[in-house]
Amino acid sequence: MRINRLLIYLIILFISAGWTAYSHFKFPVSTVEALEAPWRGFFAPKFLLLNLENEETSLSELAGAPIIVNFWASWCTPCITEAQALQNVYTNYAPKGLVLLGVNMTQSDSLSDVENFIAVHGITFPILLDVEGRVGRLYHVQALPTTFFISKDGRIQDVVVGGPMSDALLESKAIQLLAEMP
């Protein structure tokens, strides 16, 4: 009776080990892809958008740099209020390696309003156009502004939903991202 039970346990053990080995090689998991999600601690989802000059900007091409991605619209009152704080951070920290991307939710905005907004507020950081709202959906943007702080290794360090963010908060986040640089 005891030998039968031991034999059953050994058979179960070998079958389990065989299934584990088979599934590992038959169904490999790409850990990088599995970890991409628009939440703190995950790798930032990759995207490709056009800027105002009709040139492509790819998040993956910016790998190795700390990045701030700010989703906004010209009609969004908190976006208007925090525009100068974002510009100040860009002016002060872009020379140190910080990348700031403004992703305009163009599907709910107009190109002329975007261009007017940039001129009125003196924006010099890159503005990308999410014409179809694809990237906004990829990042689960539910409110504007929404800002993602991405470390040089591509992981999202923090997400701020809503605004406006103060100069001090934006500056502290920029300094944290830059502190991780070699």
Three-state SS sequence of 38-63: CCCCCECCCCEEEECCCCEEECHHHC
User: Strand order of the sheet with strand 67-72?
Assistant: 56-58, 48-51, 127-129, 99-104, 67-72, 146-150, 156-161
Tell me, what's the pLDDT at 28?
56
Q: Where are the domains of the chain?
A: 35-179
pLDDT tens sequence across 41-71: 999 999 999 999 999 999 999 999 999 999 9
Q: Would you give per-residue pLDDT tens digits along the chain (182 residues)?
A: 677 777 776 677 778 766 666 666 665 554 444 478 889 999 999 999 999 999 999 999 999 999 999 999 999 999 999 999 999 999 999 999 999 999 999 999 999 999 999 999 999 999 999 999 999 999 999 999 999 999 999 999 999 999 999 999 999 999 999 998 66
**DSSP H helical ranges for the chain:** 2-26, 31-34, 77-93, 111-121, 134-138, 167-179
Considering the entire predicted model, what is its pTM?
A: 0.81
Q: What CATH class has 35-179?
A: alpha beta
Residue 30, both tokens: 């790409």
